[in-house]
Amino acid sequence: MTAAIKRNSTAELQALDRQHLHPFTDNAELAKIGSRVIAKAEGTYLFDSDGNKMLDAFAGLWCVNIGYGRKSMAQVGYDQLLELPYYNTFFKTTHPPVAELTKLLVDMTPKQFNHVFYGLSGSDANDTIVRMVRTYWNLKKQPTKKTIISRWNGYHGSTMVAASLGGMNYMHALADLPLPGHAHIRQPYWYGDGGDMSPDEFGKVAAKALEDKILELGAENVAAFIGEPIQGAGGVIIPPATYWPEIQKICKKYDLLLIADEVICGFGRTGYMFASEYFNIEADFMTLAKGLTSGYMPLSAIMVADRVAEVLNSCGDFNHGFTYSGHPVSCAVAIENIRIIREEKLVERVHSETGPYLAKRLEEFRDHPLVGEVRSLGFVGAIELVKDKKARKTFEPIGQTGTICRDHCVKNGLIMRATRDTMLMSPPLMWTNAHIDEFMKLAKVALDATAKDVGVK
C-alpha cells in the first residue's frame, strides 16, 4: 500500500484553492476568507485540516447514507479499477457491474420500473428525462405536448435544463432561465403558506395549482409534471397527505407523464426504500443519484416505466448518452452500497427505530423561542426559525438568522445546512439513538446562541 500522504498546512491549502471557483459560493468573498478544508471522515464524523472533529448531520450533501470510511466500498472500487477501470456501454456493449446493478435496481424499485438509463449526476439524469419525455410525445404523434410543469422552490439540479425544471429564482436570475417549455406552480408548503387551512385542505389547494396551470396552457401543450416527493434543498418541505394523490389524479386526467425526483428521498432517506412507496406515487420516471452510491462515486440512474419504455424503444437508435454512462467502478460501488443498506437493515432501522426517535426528540425544540416548526420523515428533517412563533412571522431579511445558526453549529462541531432561516438535517442512515442524542445537545447550544444573537427570548 502507499505511504501516508504528506499534506499541506491549512493556510497552504487555502492559498492553493484560491483559483478554484466553487459551486453555490460567493467566490470573491471566499478568496478573501479562505475555504474550510475537510480532510478526513470516519463513520459520521468529519475532520478539518486542523484536526477539529464535527458531527455530520447532513450526510455530505444528502448522500452519504451508509456513512464514511467503509472499507468494503474501497475494496470493491479498487478491485474493479484493476479488473476493468473503464469501458463504455454504447453500441450494444455492456460489462458485469452495470448488468448486475440493472437487475438489482429493477428488482428493488416499484413494479412498473423495468428499464434503467445511467448518468453521472442527478442533474444530467433530469436533463436526460426531459429528452425522453420529448421523444415520447413525438413518437406518440402529439408533438405539441412539450411544456414541463414543476414547482417554485423545487430543486432538480444545475444544468440549463435541470435549473429550468427547478424553481430557484436565484439560479434563474443569473442566466435568463427558465428555458422555454418550462412552467412553475406553487409548492405544498403548509407551514409557510397554509394560513388557516388544515394541512389536508391545503394539500388539495396546492395540488389544484397543477390543474389550473394545465388549463391555462392547454393540456395539449403539457408533457409532464416533475416533483421531489419531499423538497430537499427548498427546505425539507413535506407535503400534506392529500397532495400527491391529487397530483397523481390530475396527471392521469390530462395525460401528463409523472416524474418523481427521488435523488434525495431514494435509498432509505425517509424510512422507505423510495418515498414513492410512502406517498403512493406511481410515476413514469424516477430519478436516482446521491444515495445510490452513498456519494462514494458519481452515478445516477433513471428508472423508466414500462409504458414509456415501450414507446421509446420504437424510435430506432436513442441518440443520447455519456462517455461514463454506467461507469463500471461507480456501478460496482453502487452494488456494494445497496448490499450494505440491506445487510444492516438501515431502511428498516430508520423506519421503525431511529427515525421515530429523531422525530420525538426534535419535538422538544417546539418549545424553543426561536423555533416555529419542526418536521421530519425518517432521516430528513427541518427546524424552522421564526421571529414570532404565534404569528408564524419570519425574520427580515430572511436568511440571516439561518446563517448565524449554521455558523454556531460549525463552531460547535455540528454540520447542518441552512435554507433561508430553516435548519436542515439529513444524517447518515447508520446513526444510532446515541448519535441523535449527541445531535440534540449540539443543536440546542447553537439554537440558544442564535436566539441570543438575534434578540429572541
Ligand X SMILES: *Cc1c(COP(=O)(O)O)cnc(C)c1O
Residue 173 CA to residue 298 CA, distance in Å, equals: 28
Nearest approach, Cβ of 159 to ligand X (angstroms)?
Answer: 8
Question: Is 66 near ligand X (CB under 6 A)?
Answer: no
Residue 320 CA to residue 355 CA, distance in Å, equals: 40
CB 273 within 8 A of CB 112: no
Map residues 78-117 to x or -, x wherever contact with ligand X holds by CB under 6 A: ----------------------------------------
Query: According to CB under 6 A, which residues from 271 to 290 bind ligand X?
Result: 289
Residue from 264, 429, 443, 446 binding ligand X (CB under 6 A): 264
* Backbone torsions φ then ψ of 319, nearest 5 degrees: -85, 75
Residue from 60, 67, 178, 232 binding ligand X (CB under 6 A): 232
Query: According to CB under 6 A, which residues from 26 to 65 bind ligand X?
Result: 62
Burial of 246 (0-12, 13-18, 19+ CB in 10 A): buried
Nearest approach, Cβ of 292 to ligand X (angstroms)?
Answer: 10
Question: Is 263 near ligand X (CB under 6 A)?
Answer: yes
Residue type, 21: L
Piece in contact with ligand X (CB under 6 A), picked from 261-269, 318-326, 370-378, 381-389: 261-269
- What b/e string do you get for 425-448 counting C-beta neighbours within 10 Å, with b at 16 or more? bbbbbbbeeebbebbeebbebbbe
Nearest approach, Cβ of 287 to ligand X (angstroms)?
Answer: 6
For residue 88, the Cα-to-chain-centroid distance in whole angstroms is: 27
Length of the chain: 457
Residue 118 CA to residue 114 CA, distance in Å, equals: 14
Question: Is 228 near ligand X (CB under 6 A)?
Answer: yes
Considering beta carbons, is residue 211 or 262 the nearer one to ligand X? 262
Question: Is 227 near ligand X (CB under 6 A)?
Answer: no
Residue from 155, 191, 365, 431 binding ligand X (CB under 6 A): 155
Residue 325 CA to residue 440 CA, distance in Å, equals: 41
Piece in contact with ligand X (CB under 6 A), picked from 32-40, 70-78, 102-110, 154-162: 154-162
Nearest approach, Cβ of 179 to ligand X (angstroms)?
Answer: 17
Residue 334 DSSP label = H
Piece in contact with ligand X (CB under 6 A), picked from 76-84, 145-153, 226-234, 245-253: 226-234
Nearest approach, Cβ of 126 to ligand X (angstroms)?
Answer: 6
Residue from 56, 127, 261, 336 binding ligand X (CB under 6 A): 261
Question: Is 178 near ligand X (CB under 6 A)?
Answer: no
Cell numbers at 113, concatenated: 420500473
Considering beta carbons, is residue 210 or 286 the nearer one to ligand X? 286
Residue 167 CA to residue 151 CA, distance in Å, equals: 6
* Backbone torsions φ then ψ of 229, nearest 5 degrees: -50, -45
CB atoms within 10 A of CB 387: 18
Question: Is 122 near ligand X (CB under 6 A)?
Answer: yes
Residue 355 CA to residue 145 CA, distance in Å, equals: 41
- What are the residues facing 415 on neighbouring strands? 56
Residue from 157, 178, 328, 378 binding ligand X (CB under 6 A): 157
Question: Is 123 near ligand X (CB under 6 A)?
Answer: yes
Q: Is the peptide bond before 178 cis (omega within 30 degrees of 0)?
A: yes
Considering beta carbons, is residue 426 or 450 the nearer one to ligand X? 426
Nearest approach, Cβ of 246 to ligand X (angstroms)?
Answer: 21
Question: Is 330 near ligand X (CB under 6 A)?
Answer: no
Residue 249 CA to residue 244 CA, distance in Å, equals: 9
Piece in contact with ligand X (CB under 6 A), picked from 129-137, 259-267, 330-338, 367-375: 259-267
For residue 21, the Cα-to-chain-centroid distance in whole angstroms is: 23
Residues contributing to the site for ligand X (CB under 6 A)? 62, 121-123, 155-157, 228, 232-233, 261, 263-264, 289
